[in-house]
Structures are given as C-alpha cells and as structure tokens.
Amino acid sequence: MKYELKSERVFDIIAIGRACIDLNATEYNRPMEETMTFTKYVGGSPVNIAIGSSKLGLKTGFIGKLADDQHGRFIANYIQNLGIDTTGVVIDRAGHKTGLAFTEIKSPEECSILMYRDNVADLYLEPSEVDEDYIRQTSTLLVSGTALSQSPSREAVLKAVSLARKHNVKVIFELDYRPYTWNSIEETAIYYALVAEQADIVIGTRDEFDILEHRKGENEQTIAYLFQHLPQLIVIKHGVEGSYAYTKIGQRFQSKAYITQVLKTFGAGDSYASAFLYALFAGKDIETALKYGSASASIVVSKHSSSEAMPTVNEIEQLITADEKEAQYR
C-alpha cells in the first residue's frame, strides 16, 4: 500500500516553524553543572526535519523567523549550505533572540533540556510574512505543533494551513509537543485539534496524541476521531515498542524500533519524520516507510547532535539490511 506525496511542484516539502540553537554538553555523562563547554548545532523540530529531508535528497524549503544576530546568521548559513531554500525565511527586526536549548546528557536514560524560549524570534513570525505564492509551489507543508503555541506564529501557521488547503498542498502535522511554550494543556488541545482535523498526515507519539485529544486514549479511539475529518494517514509512535501507521481505508501497518547504542534521546522524532516522508516520496510502501523512519531515529539517538547527525539514504538502508540479515540467522 502506497501513499502518494509526489506532485509536479518546485518543492517536495516546505517546513514551517522554529529554527534554534542547540548547545550540547561537549562532556557528557555528567550533570550540566559540571559541564564546562558546549557545542553549537542548529536545532528545532521543523528545521531539523527540513535538514533531514534535504540530506535524503528531497527538494526542501523552510519558512521561519530568525534573530538578527550571530546565532540567526549561523542558522541561515547552515541551512543554505545544505541546499534548503530560504526564500521564506524572515529576519526579525524587533530584537527578539534565537531560542536556545542547553542539553544535559547524564546517561542515555537521563537527558534533560534547559530551554531559553522567552520572546524568541521564531514565535514572532507574522501571518503577513507567509506568502501564498510560495506555499503553492510545494507538494507538502510540514507543520510543527510548537509553532502553534503563541501568537503571532500561531496565526502564521493557521494561515499557511489554510493556503495549503486552498492550493491542494498536502498538510503534514508533526505534533512536536513542548510544554514550556504553551499556556495550558486545554489550549494545546484546541489548536492541535484545529490543525489535525485539516491535515492529510498526522505524526506523533502516543503521548502527543493524548495531548491532542485531551484524554488518555488508545490508537483505535484516535483514528476513529481523526478519520471523521480530513486526515488520510496517521502515524503513532510507541517508543521502543515500535510505531504504527493507519490509513483512512482501514489498514494498519507496524514497524519495530531498531536497537542501537543510545547516547541521548533528542532528535529521534525529527529524524523519524524526515526518513518516513522521504520513503513515501520515493514511492516506497507505507510499511517500508515506517522502517525508514525507525532506522533513521535509531541512527540519530546514537550520535551527539540532532541536525548534524541526520543520516543519508545509504546509512538508513544499510541499517535495515543488516538488521534483516541478522534476523535471518536468529
């Protein structure tokens, strides 16, 4: 069973939302209080998915607002060098800063993030800065949930979704739930439902779907609810137990999680999404696309960054093949 994403447009994916700086502890396996140096990477779910997709060969664009400072320029340079189109990138002129995430890696099981998200530039993207002509040039629009957490970024995303619908651009909603930027769980549920009901594909963890539905739920309830609306394909990730894809016509697919030497848990979702989407664009069936997502996630969690570490097609396919060979002999 395939799900067609490809269309004759300039871009395969345009991602909209935040692009920030990750400051990853250079020395790990210790509390951040004892970390003395930090290494700088581009971070933020939608830009990470754009980076991952671009590395896998998709034609990718990014819409977001960057601070007018050294961190903002670093991000712009970095993604341009990867071949991501930055026509939709706006420079903030109001003095807002780049969001920061200091990551602390005490152990594979104990990771935490210290966020700087007050008045960050990405949440100041204005609806007037989302361009209709740009949106109509893409096959898919990837929306990340965090961009809905505050105005005016919230309205910019709602406008982008509305324009996508108008121009038959498929909407992919990556739930990407980060509690620190939201006022309340109830508010999150309202906007998540608004966008999910209008999306073609919704991707998230089981916990994130619980936030969207504002209840502790089961996959069967989730799909019963969402398939009443526009979604065609729903991907629900259950961590080490693997992930599931559901289609509106009633199919259900499953993939295990690939075992790896985990360094940290950050970045797993972004690498999953980019590889899953890449596989659909490449004409793979949904079941195979789930494998690509899982394999890509497993590669990123074994490495130090979330963006730099995004794998190539080759790396993903080698992991899948190696795993299948090994399974033969088990």
Interaction site with its own copies (CB under 8 A): 23, 26, 31-33, 35-40, 69-71, 73-74, 77, 97, 100, 102, 104, 114, 116, 118-119, 126-128, 151-152, 155, 158-159, 162, 183-184, 186-187, 190-191, 193-194
Q: Which residues contact 117 (CB under 8 A, 6 or more apart)?
A: 99, 123, 180, 181
- Distance between CA atoms of residues 266 and 187, nearest Å: 25
Nearer to its own copies, 35 or 60 (CB): 35
Nearer to its own copies, 42 or 289 (CB): 42
- Distance between CA atoms of residues 142 and 314, nearest Å: 24
Nearer to its own copies, 183 or 328 (CB): 183
CB of 23 to its own copies, least distance (A): 7
Nearer to its own copies, 36 or 259 (CB): 36
CB of 17 to its own copies, least distance (A): 17
- Distance between CA atoms of residues 99 and 75, nearest Å: 11
**Closest to 99 in 3D by CA, of 154, 171, 52, 46:** 46
- What tokens appear for 40 in the block? 């700088």
Whole-angstrom CA distances from 299 to 78, 311, 317 are: 21, 7, 11
Q: Are strands 243-247 and 11-16 parallel, antiparallel or unpaired?
A: unpaired
CB of 37 to its own copies, least distance (A): 5
CB of 39 to its own copies, least distance (A): 5
Nearer to its own copies, 21 or 277 (CB): 21
CB of 189 to its own copies, least distance (A): 8
